[in-house]
Chains A and B, each alone.
Chain A
Amino acid sequence: MLLSQLGFYSLILGLLLSFILLIFSYKNLFTKDINLKKNIYYISFLQFFLVIQSFFCLIYSFIVSDFSNETVYNNSHTTKPFFYKISGTWGNHEGSLLLWLLVLTLFIFLFLIFSKEQPKKYRLLTLLFQQIIIIGFFLFVLFASNPFNYLFPIPKEGLGLNPILQDPALAIHPPILYLGYVGSSIIFSSSLSALICKNVNSNWARHIKLWIFLSWTFLTLGIMIGSIWAYYELGWGGFWFWDPVENISLMPWLCLTALLHTIVVLEKRQVLKLWTLILSIATFTFSMTGTFLVRSGILNSVHTFANDPTRGLFILIFLFVLILLSLLILFLYQPKTSNLQKKFFFLSKETSILVNNWFMIYFLSVIFIGTTYPIFLEVLTNAKISVGPPFYQKLLLPFLIFFLIFMSFGPNLKWIKSSFKKIKFKQIFPFIISIIISYLIIIKTNSEHLFSTILFVSAFYLFFTASRDLIKKENHLSQKISHFGFSLLVLAILLNSVFADEFSANMKIGEEIKFKNSFIKFKKIETYEEKNYKSIVADFEIEDKKKIINLKPEIRIYNQPNILTSEADIKVSFFSDKFLVMNLLKDDDFFNVRYQIKPFMLWIWISGLLLAIGGFLGLIRKFK
């Protein structure tokens, strides 16, 4: 109760500090000092401190189950395990926005510390833009989604957190994803400010690259963790569903990936200035759009639990203001590139990066259209539609082939001008191997499609060239690891999709069913009482070529809220996952059972991790 008050007033004070910072930094713009006034650092830190204080107040309210707080009442319960009481803080709308705000204030403070070698005007303007975003979020948190609303009479018990969110992966998924999203806000503010200062040059590129690496690494990790969670918790046994909410995290990722490559061109060659700025603005816009679409309830998916149209409207207006502001600045302060620098030779690293960007933008547009088209159509014609995986596969896969081939030689081109070399045996060899392997795979899976053969050849070829580059002793380790990770990811996904096998049936206890070469035996069930749920654990035996594995899928019946969840049992191995999930069917003897063989799942996660490791190495290299 008292802490809720403290949390609320901290936020109001934090908002006031934003205005003070605006005034201070504006005044500071016209002084002749080279450095920022010390008090700007102090106020910025104080603001961060106030938000973190408010955040801890909320965490504490969750821990002690203070149901006089509406957010706690809606999302917590006394019997919830301690760990999920804490993670429940950001498992809901109000708390997660407070987390956004927390990261926003943290990042601007860090920005001020780590930008000391940059010109004063540029730093102050970045602070100004960032404070505008922060004010927007303060207002949003305080007036449209206050986490400290008071409830009276005080309820005895809370409504509880949706059990599918009570999961370790989902405890860390939002914070990590937000680090990525919010990192892009710094890129946004900084690029606008660099634009005004006419500061869009190699020096700026080198400096902002740090934030791009930071956002990219966290965004990659965040998406991957969400995907792992969906794999084992949602019970479908897939890792990507082309669900609108997943797509929405992929859009800023693609944009940021394009930016990650372009910024290098800007750093080395001083070209593509305008394009870099557009990407910076777009990345943050997509992050905000994501928040808007998810939080407004326009998209229905796993993440929309309860929603409120006013929230959507607020973010929408805020988003428009930001886009207008950035377009205006972009228009007024257009960067000029001298003609001398403009020349692009068609066979050079910068051209190849530009082509990479075209691909990224194409992928992005397809996903954008697929995600937003249903919304527009519903508004216009009232027809309700959904766009499924076939749409994305048809449009993305053909271009992926070109992208993969392109990616296998692009990174080895030189800056400014590269020349054709004689094709050596060394290059032709991996190509031949790729063809042979792909041919064997296609024969084995009986899918006689020319298309998938070509796709496999290009994926293998990229894999081999990326591995070869990885072994070469040169610098750019971060790039090579990420590229290798990406090639492995594509390969793992392809292999996973062609070799996957599944079977589902309704089974009674004691029954045995034959599936291809294996026998699936439903041996028994046992029930247990846990603290906040009842658990039914089944025992399945799968006999596969004289190898027996036991899988124990579980059904949990939570008491508060009263929800059923299935916990899949997964036997993870190096080459193949065995995935078994079951479900209750009415009250009769049948259990709905789904058994899946998922090859190379582990490799998908490993390659995602490699991508992130590459980003992380790029980040720490900047600090050396």
Chain B
Amino acid sequence: MYGKKVKLRAIFLLFSIVIVILAVFLVLKTLEEDVVYFISPTEIKNLPEINTKKIRIGGMVKKDSIKTTSDQINFIITDFKSEINVSFSGSVPNLFAEEKGVVAEGFLKDRNYFDATKILAKHDENYMPPEVKESLQAK
């Protein structure tokens, strides 16, 4: 028979492998649940179905589209090909303005309406998130 030491080591090894596998499984599962996909307005138009997962939409805030009331801000995100109406209540970042890049996070109501829960900050007027740049170039 194998010595006690070898046995112990084998058990330890097995134990470690099981733990690692469990950890990897846990991480992947959580990733699947909590990842937020980035989608452009045009891609939304082409979605086969609207699901309830949280997403991010990026593009430009359309000119003359910002409408403010005391508890809501409505505006239109465009990638110059398709548009989507966004309603949002909460605080906006510094560089939120018309004809500037924007990323909104939230839930789709239908193909034309988006309920934003968060407007993401950007800190440089020349800086555009690569996603926005790409979705603008794709036009």
Contact = CB atoms under 8 A, between A and B. Distances in A.
A305 B97 contact: no
Given A561-B125, A588-B68, A369 B27 contact: yes
A340 interface: no
B11 interface: no
Interface stretch (A14-22, A214-222, A382-390, A602-610): A382-390
B121 A235 contact: yes
A236 interface: yes
Contacts of A506: 68-73
Most B C-beta atoms less than 10 A away, residue of A374, A386, A581, A583: A386
Contacts of A383: 37-38
B71 A388 contact: no
Contacts of A563: 94-95, 124-125
A77 to B, nearest CB: 14
A164 interface: yes
7 contacts: A365-B27, A386-B36, A387-B31, A387-B36, A506-B73, A507-B70, A565-B94
Contact of A388 (B26, B36, B73, B125): B36
Nearest to A159: B126
B3 interface: no
A566 interface: yes
Contacts of A565: 94
Nearest to A593: B91
A562 B4 CA distance: 73
Nearest to A339: B5
B92 A583 contact: yes
Interface of A: 162, 164, 234-236, 300, 302, 304-306, 362, 365-366, 369-370, 373-374, 383-388, 390-391, 394-395, 504-508, 511, 561-566, 581, 583, 585-586, 588, 590, 592-594
B35 A387 contact: yes
Most A C-beta atoms less than 10 A away, residue of B26, B34, B56, B126: B34
B128 to A, nearest CB: 9
Contacts of A394: 30, 33-34
Interface residues of B, number: 38
B66 to A, nearest CB: 5
A586 B66 contact: yes
B2 interface: no
Interface in B1-43: 23, 26-27, 30-31, 33-38
Question: Considering the complex of A and B, which 8 residue pairs feature the smallest CB-CB distances, nearest first?
Answer: A594-B91, A384-B38, A391-B34, A590-B68, A504-B91, A390-B34, A385-B35, A586-B66
B93 A235 contact: yes
Contact of B37 (A162, A385, A391): A385
A385 B36 contact: yes
A162 to B, nearest CB: 6
Contacts of A300: 129-130
Given A235-B93, A366-B27, A395-B27, 5 more contacts: A234-B123, A300-B129, A507-B70, A581-B91, A583-B92
B98 interface: yes
B48 interface: no
B94 A583 contact: yes
B96 interface: yes
A583 B73 CA distance: 13
Contacts of A235: 91, 93-94, 121
A47 to B, nearest CB: 35
A255 to B, nearest CB: 18
B121 A236 contact: yes
B82 interface: no
A592 B125 contact: no
Contact of A585 (B27, B68, B126): B68
Contacts of B93: 235, 583
A127 B92 CA distance: 51
B107 to A, nearest CB: 14
A592 B92 contact: yes
A369 B32 CA distance: 13
B13 to A, nearest CB: 15
Interface string B71-103: 111000000000000000111111111100000
